[in-house]
Structure 1
Amino acid sequence: MCRWLAYSGSPVRLDDLLYKPSNSLVIQSKHARMGAETTNGDGFGLGWYGTEPLPGLFHSTMPAWHDRNLRELAAQASAGRVFAHIRATTGTAIQETNCHPFRHGQWLWMHNGALTDFPKVKRDLAMAVEPSLYPQIEGSTDSELFFYLALTFGLERDPRAAVAEAVGFIEDAGRRRGIEHPVQMTVATTDGDTTWAFRYSSEGSSRSLFVSSDITTLQAQYPDHPLLHGRSDDTRLVVSEPLGDLQGAWQEVPDGTCLVVHGGEKDLYPFTPSAPVAAAV
């Protein structure tokens, strides 16, 4: 399906995230260890927060391992909050508007997984999107439509509640269409200040998700590791799979969980879909 990472902390050069780790996201684009597919070569995307009011985006339909522009960009650019995503399509077209992360105002969103039998429920889900938001949908993926459902249910006010309602709505719509397990997801979203990450599936067997350990502990354990040098105390990474094999560096996020990263603090909350007010389709 896909692999992704969400970084927050002191400004980091993008190649330190995308190329230098032993199991970097670029390596995962060709040789993922824990994904549903080994290869994630159907495009990639970056989202970052810099000096402008809105986060920047860079999307390409090239495989990440084969894109010279990505290597050039990553060698020069740096940011203190970065979303990166490599794509393995579940059926929708390989085009830039289908590459993650997706953006709405200050918000970014990316997804690994699938809405099962998406064509069967696509119309039901699309009709539930707030009419003022609907024209902003540019691509054809289940992931982008999922984002706009979450926005419809109040993502900008209360992300945990909004995603719970969106998932509840999708499950209700899917089961009305005879789909036994409608949702498979790890999702990350951010407003540029806090990151929310969700691990959930209707069948209770979700895609992998990990969060990095406290950076000061890792720096004490591995004082000579170059990728740990100069990182601020609030540095955190949330990833589909670990970027390396340092013992104690990664903690698995339990299934059915919402992870909230704010500064260097991380909090885990149980995640359960909730029935939205407009659940009928």
Structure 2
Amino acid sequence: MCRWAAYVGEPIFLEDVVSRPGHSLVAQSLEAAKCPTTTNGDGFGLAWYDARPEPGLYRDIYPAWSDPNLRAICEQVRSGLFLAHVRASTGTATSRNNCHPFAVGRWSFMHNGQAGGFEGFRKRADMLIPDDLYPYRKGATDSEVLFLLALAEGLDTEPVSAMARAVARVEGLSRAYGAAPHMRFSAAWSDGSSLYAVRFSSDEQVPSLFYRRSETRGGFAVVSEPLERDEEGWKTPAPGQVVRFDRDGSLELLPFV
């Protein structure tokens, strides 16, 4: 499994989420508390929004705790909306193309979870990706398939429903050709204006997801586990409940349908 964190609100340095807190994302890459895999050392990635509609993207295969370039970027880059991810592979290769977040145009996406038995139906899943989007299929993960299918399903106009349809299509393949658990899905995605996050599962083992409003900046941190060792002040959405955060500090709860 993987760990991830995102932020939306007034611009802050990426280090305020990624590396500076006591249980920051970098700390979680070494010792996660809320997933079976405590070490998440199969690469990392950042996607951040600034002056252009498309996000900046930095990904590499090194463990997050050992890359000085990651710390240097996080110490210098300030953003009002960013996504960060540390990876623990569930079977696919450790490569830059398999590292999250993924980005196409203005959209970025990152994921923690799995589609059970994906290797047994990966070709079928790839064949669902339309020809115009298939050039963006750079890696081999189920996460990238989910993202590209969501784009195909109309992410630009229906950012929640399109993602829900993509998840349903891949879960259907897992039920037909894969293995249980058919879908475990904790994800965040953004178009640079809003940030969406959800946790969902086809069984009772729903991945963790937390969010909290910053008392000083008015923005929101959204994480797969809290940035401190305790959970005080952090809220958890119900399974199948999407949380949409906007740059103006507003929040909306939506069904994942």
1:245 CA displacement? 4.9
CA distance in 2: counterparts of 1:162 and 1:187, whole angstroms: 14
User: Paired residue for 1:183?
Assistant: 183
1:64-120 deviations in whole A, cap 9, x for unaligned?
A: 011111111112111111100000000111111111000010000000001111111
SS of 2:160 mapped into structure 1: helix
* Match in the other structure for 1:277: none
- Paired position in structure 1 for 2:41: 41
The equivalent residue for 1:253 is 237
Which amino acid is the alignment partner of residue 258 of structure 1? V
What amino acid maps onto 2:102 in structure 1? F
Whether the 8 Å CA contact 1:4–1:84 is kept in 2: the answer is yes
Aligned counterpart in structure 1 of residue 223 of structure 2, from 239, 251, 255: 239
Structure 2 residue runs without a partner (length 5+):
none
Instruction: After TM superposition, give the deviation of residue 134 of structure 1 in Å.
Output: 0.7
Question: Normalising by the residue count of structure 2, what TM-score does the alignment of the two structures yield?
Answer: 0.95
The alignment status of 1:99 with 2:84, answered yes or no, reads no
Cα distance in 2 for partners of 1:157, 1:247 equals 35
Structure 2 residue 178 is the aligned partner of structure 1 residue 174: no
Alpha-carbon separation, structure 2, partners of 1:261 and 1:121 = 34
Which one-letter code corresponds to 1:268 in the other structure? L
Say if 1:19 and 1:132 are closer, same or farther in 2 by CA, change over 3 A. same
**Is the Cα–Cα contact under 8 Å of residues 125 and 149 in structure 1 kept in the other structure?**
no
Task: Kindly state the Cα deviation for residue 246 of structure 1 after the two structures are TM-superposed.
Answer: 6.5
CA contact (8 A) 2:49 2:55 kept: yes
Aligned residue for 1:278?
Answer: none
Contact conserved, 2:4 with 2:224, CA < 8 A, in 1? yes
Distance 1:140 1:174 in 2: 16
Determine whether 1:269 maps to 2:251.
Answer: no
Please report how far the alpha carbon of residue 178 of structure 1 lies from its aligned counterpart in structure 2 after TM superposition. 5.4
Matched AA of 2:60: S
Quote the RMSD (CA, aligned, Å).
1.5
In structure 1, stretches of 5+ residues that fail to align are: 220-227, 273-281
Equivalent pairs, count? 256
Q: Percent identity?
A: 42
Deviation digits for residues 132-191 of structure 1 (CA, Å, limit 9, x no counterpart): 101111111111111111111111110111111112111222222253431111011100
Q: Are the equivalent residues in 1 in contact too, given 2:23–2:226 (CA < 8 A)?
A: yes
Distance 2:114 2:231 in 1: 31
Task: State the distance in 2 between where 1:267 and 1:80 align.
Answer: 18
Corresponding residue of 1:128: 128
Larger Rg: 1
Distance in 1 of aligned mates of 2:188 and 2:13: 21
Contact 2:24 2:227 in 1 (8 A): yes
Aligned position for 1:159: 159
Q: SS of the counterpart of 1:241?
A: coil
Shift of 1:12: 0.8
Preserved contact between residue 48 and residue 79 of structure 1 (Cα < 8 Å): yes
Could you tell me the TM-score, scaled by structure 1's length? 0.87
- Retained in 2: the 8 A contact 1:14–1:77? yes
Report the Cα offset of residue 271 of structure 1: 2.4
